[in-house]
A and B are shown apart, each in its own frame.
Chain A
Amino acid sequence: MSFLTLTHLEKSFGANRVVKDFNLSVEKGEFISLLGPSGCGKTTVLRMVAGFETPTAGGITIDGRDVTSLKANSRNIGMMFQAYALFPNMTVADNVAFGLRVKGVPRAERDARVAEMLALIGLSEMGGRFPFQLSGGQQQRVALARALAPRPSVLLLDEPLSALDAKVRVSLRNQIRQIQQDLGITTIFVTHDQEEAMSISDRIVVMNGGVADQVGAPFEIYNRPRTKFVANFVGTLNTFEVRVTDPATGRVALAGQDLTLPDAPLSARTGETLTVALRPEALRLGRLADAEALLPAKVTDVHFMGSVIRLRADVAGTDVSLDTFNRPDTPPPTVGSMIEVSLSGRDFIQLRA
Chain B
Amino acid sequence: MTRFFAWGTFLLGCLFFALPLIGMTEFSLKMRRGEYSFDAYRRVFEDQRFWDTFSYSLILAAATIVVGVLLVVPTAYWVRLKLPQARPVIEFITLLPLVIPAIVIVFGYIRLYNTSSFLPLTGSALGTDILLTMGYTTLALPYMYRSVDTGLRTIDVATLTEAAQSLGAGWITILSRIILPNVMVAVLSGAFLTLAIVLGEFTMAALLNRPAFGPFMQLLGANRAYEPPALAVIAFAITWGCMGLMQLVTRFSKHERAKA
Interface residues of A (CB under 8 A from B): 50-52, 71-79, 81, 83, 85-89, 98-99, 102-103, 130-133, 143, 146-147, 150, 156
Contacts and interface: CB of A to CB of B under 8 A. Distances in A.
B166 A102 contact: no
Interface string B242-260: 0000000000001101110
Contacts of A85: 156, 159-160, 162-163
A131 B178 CA distance: 14
B182 A79 contact: no
B164 A98 contact: yes
The secondary structure that dominates the B interface is helix
Contacts of B218: none
Contact of B166 (A78, A88, A133): A78
A50 B173 contact: no
Contacts of B259: 88, 132
Given A72-B162, A85-B162, A130-B255, A102 B169 contact: yes
B255 A146 contact: no
Nearest to A99: B167
B160 A79 contact: no
Given A75-B166, A77-B166, 10 more contacts: A73-B170, A74-B168, A87-B160, A87-B178, A88-B259, A99-B167, A102-B169, A130-B254, A131-B258, A133-B258
Nearest to B169: A102
Contact of A102 (B159, B168, B182): B168
A73 B166 contact: yes
Contacts of B162: 50, 52, 72, 79, 81, 85
B167 to A, nearest CB: 4
Contacts of A99: 167-168
Contacts of A71: 165
Contacts of B159: 81, 83, 85
B181 interface: yes
B167 A88 contact: no
B71 to A, nearest CB: 22
A76 B255 contact: no
B148 to A, nearest CB: 15
The secondary structure that dominates the A interface is mixed
Interface centre among B162, B167, B169 (most CB of A within 10 A): B167
Contact of B258 (A76, A102, A130, A146): A130
A78 B155 CA distance: 21
B163 A79 contact: yes
A147 to B, nearest CB: 7
Interface centre among A75, A81, A85, A156 (most CB of B within 10 A): A85
Q: What size tier do the contact residues of chain B reach?
A: 20 to 34
Contacts of B254: 130
A101 to B, nearest CB: 8
A184 B227 CA distance: 77
A103 B173 CA distance: 11
Interface string B88-130: 0000000000000000000000000000000000000000000
A102 B165 CA distance: 10
Contacts of B156: 83, 85
A99 B177 CA distance: 12
Interface in B122-163: 155-156, 159-160, 162-163
A133 to B, nearest CB: 8
Interface in B167-197: 167-170, 173, 177-178, 181-182, 184
A310 to B, nearest CB: 39
B165 A72 contact: yes
A151 B254 CA distance: 30
A88 B182 contact: yes
A72 B257 contact: no
A98 B160 CA distance: 12
A147 B165 CA distance: 11
A102 B163 contact: no
A74 B167 CA distance: 9
B182 A150 contact: no
A81 B163 contact: yes
A30 to B, nearest CB: 20
A189 to B, nearest CB: 15
Contacts of B177: 87, 98
Given A89-B181, A89-B255, A150 B168 contact: yes
Contacts of B163: 79, 81, 85-87, 143, 146
Given A72-B162, A88-B182, A150 B258 contact: no
A235 B184 CA distance: 50
